[in-house]
Chains A and B, each alone.
Chain A
């Protein structure tokens, strides 16, 4: 039976995908977001080719330089090239952002699926656990985890991932609740498919839209959180370039050399902005009914 269905489903999905892409491309803001994301990803993949390999190279006699042909964005408080560090910083932010969202997504979606599918007591218990995580402000949750376990990249991923997880669980759960009453789920159940199979094969694919949107939105938030943690000195350890810590080290000279604060801030803002636009565009494209 499944074999019979497949070509049809694939066909349907293909044309659906075409529709989605078409709708997405019509949204100029979303396309702008997408383009920025592409640029970011390229920066993160090939920083050495774009900005040179040595982001730790200090030139202590050449500090606080303004923009020049040699240093397009000037140099920082240790005479390091700001452009190089910002380009390399995209790798830091994207890596930690992606890893933490993957963690958040896999945990959150699993919890959301189970809670939404089984409902009742299971739902109640799981959602209370989610409530616990949501009751603690994200920044404070992150800070206390990092303070307790030390500031390594792995701990950051855990801290940010845990903070972003509730949103995934809730989004998935509400999508699942909508889907689980559908007729084809009833049909699948009637054929004797196991709960796991139903969740994995039928419910998840049909709840995917809001989850994908949440991935984009979650990335935006996690980039913000990483920079926030680094800003207060609990982020990525030196000398790894990170936008938030670059910004933080420029605080003491904010009045004389505002460029040290300006550029990393713009980098953070642009990337968060891009993921927000992209997420918004995806939401509209995936589910035109939600469009406002």
Chain B
């Protein structure tokens, strides 16, 4: 197991180097020079030249890239152009908010997704099943920002139950968490349904039923327990996605999270903050994906044995889901 984790961590390294390269070159080749942004139009050419020298901006691309990498490895992601604070500090100030939002949203995704998924599976082809599946597809089809605005109209403007922006009290969290959560709830619902169906079709369920056990007991004790593994992993994946992908929702609800920070930084070409922020997100998302895979391997002996023997072709629903959704 440890060997497996170690290997996965090693595999992360080239990917992270690639992420840095991608973001770094995007910023490097984009029009405009940092010294113009920072020093402004009143600075003299000598000032600008001095700035370029000081920050190593005259070095060749690769030298700059490696300098950035070396600093990043030491935990130094540079200084934000606008606030002049260390990028790391800025990220750390925002990350807890994004994290908390993701936790709340995941909670909502679980409540909605798992319950409707089970009902759908147990009453397959019933009206409930059809309705749930229909709603699930609508759920993934709505743009989150639109859903957010509609919820604001309904709950803040018409009903006046909930605040529309900010994040000071728990009531502020409800609308954004629902907005982000319902999107993921759809994936959770579909995964719950299909793994429940698969579980119900297993022989031992039929055996249990044949033995005259109560239907509900069979569903809960046997089918659901077996279906939890893929459901939990999809939840983990969705959680990782929320950390990175809720940027627009953060803007809709004026939540000062990491995504909001990065989008604003992109708008003003605050390169160190953009690079640091995206790198940070990539690392966190990769770590969560790794964690999910490891957990999956840990709870499912079949998968674990595959990793140990490392040859059998694996049929891993999580991997498939990842491929499908482009996580």
Q: Which residues of A contact B (CB under 8 A)?
A: 29, 128-129, 131-140, 143-145, 147-150, 163-164, 166-167, 170-171, 174, 177, 214, 217, 220-221, 224, 227-228, 231-232, 244, 247, 251, 254-255, 258, 261-262, 265, 268-270, 272-273, 276-277, 280, 292
Contacts and interface: CB of A to CB of B under 8 A. Distances in A.
B152 to A, nearest CB: 7
19 contacts: A135-B286, A144-B27, A147-B30, A148-B26, A150-B31, A166-B326, A167-B326, A170-B323, A228-B143, A228-B144, A247-B149, A255-B157, A261-B149, A262-B150, A265-B142, A265-B149, A268-B143, A268-B146, A269-B141
Interface of B: 11, 14-16, 18-19, 21-23, 26-27, 29-31, 134, 137-138, 140-146, 149-150, 152-153, 157, 193-194, 197-198, 241, 244-245, 247-248, 251, 259, 262-263, 266-267, 269, 274, 278, 281-282, 285-286, 313, 320, 322-327
A28 B188 CA distance: 23
A140 B259 contact: yes
Contact of B143 (A140, A167, A244, A258): A244
Given A149-B30, A261-B146, A269-B142, 8 more contacts: A128-B18, A140-B281, A171-B323, A228-B248, A231-B143, A251-B149, A261-B149, A262-B150
Nearest to A28: B130
Contact of B26 (A144, A166, A171, A224): A144
B248 A139 contact: yes
Contacts of A244: 143
A136 B23 contact: yes
Contacts of A273: 137-138, 141
A232 B251 contact: yes
Contact of A128 (B14, B198, B320, B326): B14
Contacts of A265: 142-143, 146, 149-150
Contacts of A231: 143, 145, 248
A136 B281 contact: yes
A217 B141 CA distance: 11
A277 B326 contact: no
Contacts of A272: 140-143
Given A134-B327, A174-B323, A280 B137 contact: yes
B269 A128 contact: no
A140 B247 contact: yes
Contact of B326 (A134, A174, A232): A134
A123 B142 CA distance: 35
Contacts of B251: 232
A224 B143 contact: yes
B interface secondary structure, majority: helix
A148 B27 contact: yes
Contacts of A228: 143-145, 248
Contacts of A177: 313
A148 B104 CA distance: 33
A266 to B, nearest CB: 9
Contacts of B26: 144-145, 148
A224 B145 CA distance: 10
7 closest residue pairs by CB, A with B: A132-B18, A148-B30, A137-B244, A167-B326, A273-B141, A170-B323, A135-B282
A105 B133 CA distance: 28
A167 B247 contact: no
Contacts of B14: 128
Contact of A292 (B152, B193, B286, B322): B193
B138 to A, nearest CB: 6
Given A167-B325, A231-B143, A292 B194 contact: yes
Contacts of A134: 326-327
A26 B19 CA distance: 45
Contacts of B144: 228
B19 A132 contact: yes
Contacts of A171: 323-324
